[in-house]
Amino acid sequence: MYKNTVLVSITGKDKPGITSTLTKIIADTDTKLIDIEQVVIHDILSLTIIIQLNSSDNSVLKELLFKSKEIGINLDFEVISDDSIIDRSSRNTYAITCIGNEISAEIILHLSKTLAYHDVNIERITKLNEGIVNCVELVVYATENIDIKELRASLLSLGKKYQVDIAFQKENLYRKSKRLLVLDMDMTLIQMEVIDQLAELAGVGNQVSRITEKAMNGEIDFNTALNERVSLLKGLEFSRLEEVFEKIVFTEGAEDLIMIAKHLGFKTAVLSGGFTYFTEKIKNILKLDYAFANQLEVIDGKLTGKVIGEIVNAKKKADLLEEIAKKENISLDQVIAVGDGANDIPMLEKAGLGVAFNAKQKVKEKAEFSLSRKPLDSIFYLLGITEKDLQKIK
C-alpha cells in the first residue's frame, strides 16, 4: 500500500516552532504525510511522523536531518513496511484508569506485564493528577480475539493485590461524552444510613441495623427489609427527622462532583431506597435535577410504620434511571451510576458506566468499576479528565 515509507522520530527540549519548521520541509516537497503524533513531558518533546517519499529520492530526509541539527534536536529515521503501519480502524482500543494512594513503578511494572501476557499493547500512558502519581490512564489496543472477561479479571486481581482501583473501558466517544449522573444516597452521596439513625431515635437501633446489613449484602429481599425496618419506627415523632438531617455529612468530594457535573452540562439525580424527606432537602442544597425515594406515612405528626406508594427498590432504581435518560434524550451509554449496595446493582449494570463506591464485595463483582480509595469526584478520572482540568472548574 505504502512505498518508500519512512518513520521519523524526533526528540529533544521542546520550544515553539519545532513542529512547524519540520513539517514545512515535508509540505514544500511532494511527500505524503501518513501519520503524526506528538507528546511533551516536562518540556521534553517526542514527535513521531510517518511519511511516504515520492520516490527513492532521500533529499527530504537530508533536509530534515540538517534542520534538526540546526535547531538542536535529535532526529532518527527508518524505512518501514506496510506490516509496521497500524490500521487504527481495525483495532480494539481500551482505556485503563489506575487510581490509588500512590502508583509506584512496581504497580506499572505488573500492570504492563499483565497486559503483555494478554497480548495487549500500550499506546499511551498519561498521568491525570497533579503532584505525586496517584492516577494514571493507559490507552491500549488489542486484537479481536482477546478474552476481555479474562483480562478484566486479571486487572481486578492486580488491583486487589496492590490496593489500587483499576477501571477497564472501551475507548470510544461515549466514554468522554457522559451527560447524566445518578447516585444512591446512603453511604454514597452521604456518609450515613438514614434509617439506622432514625432507628436509634426510636430505640430500635440494633434490630434495624441487623436488617439493614442483610439487605445491603443481598441476603434479604429489599421490600421485605424496608417494610420490617419502617414498621419498627412506628410512633416516632415526624419532627425528629430534622435531627437526623442535621447530622448528615456529605461524602468527601460529593459536592464538588455535583458542582463540576452541572458545570459540564450533566443532568443529576439521586435515586434512594431511603426517604423523600431527606432526598428533597439534598436535592435543594445541591441543586439536583431529580430526586426519588420512599415516602413515609405520617398521621397526627407521627410515623405510622408504613411506606406510601411504590417502593423504590433495585428494579425501580434501574427503571427510574432509564426513565430520566429517556426524558432527557440521553443514551444509556452516556449515564454514570454510582452506588454501594445490592439494591444498586441493576442501575449500575444499566448505566454506561456503573461505579461501585466503597461497596460490598457482591456489588464490586457486578459493577464495571469499583472506587474505594479516593474522593467521590475522582469519578471524573474515568472520563479522562485531569485534575488540572477539574481545578480550573472549581
Could you list the active site residues? Answer: 184, 186
The answer to whether 308 and 314 are in contact (CB under 8 A) is no
Angstrom distances, CA of residue 226 to CA of 20, 168, 189, 282, 335: 66, 35, 20, 21, 27
According to DSSP, the β-strands at 335-339 and 290-299 are: unpaired
Residue from 205, 365, 206, 185 nearest 285 by CA:
185
- Say which residues have a Cβ less than 8 Å from residue 105's Cβ, sequence separation at least 6: none
Cα 37 from Cα 16, distance rounded (Å): 16
Residue from 362, 294, 349, 375 nearest 99 by CA:
375
**In the sheet that 121-127 helps form, which strands lie side by side, from edge to edge?**
121-127, 135-142, 92-99, 165-170
The answer to whether 159 and 166 are in contact (CB under 8 A) is yes
Residue from 351, 284, 294, 344 nearest 324 by CA:
351
C-alpha R_g of the chain: 27
User: Could you report how far apart the first and last alpha carbons of the chain are, in Å?
Assistant: 50
- Say which residues have a Cβ less than 8 Å from residue 157's Cβ, sequence separation at least 6: none
The answer to whether 215 and 225 are in contact (CB under 8 A) is yes
The answer to whether 368 and 392 are in contact (CB under 8 A) is no
According to DSSP, the β-strands at 180-183 and 5-13 are: unpaired
DSSP per-residue codes, 62-94: HHHHHHHHHHT-EEEEEE--GGGS--GGGSEEE
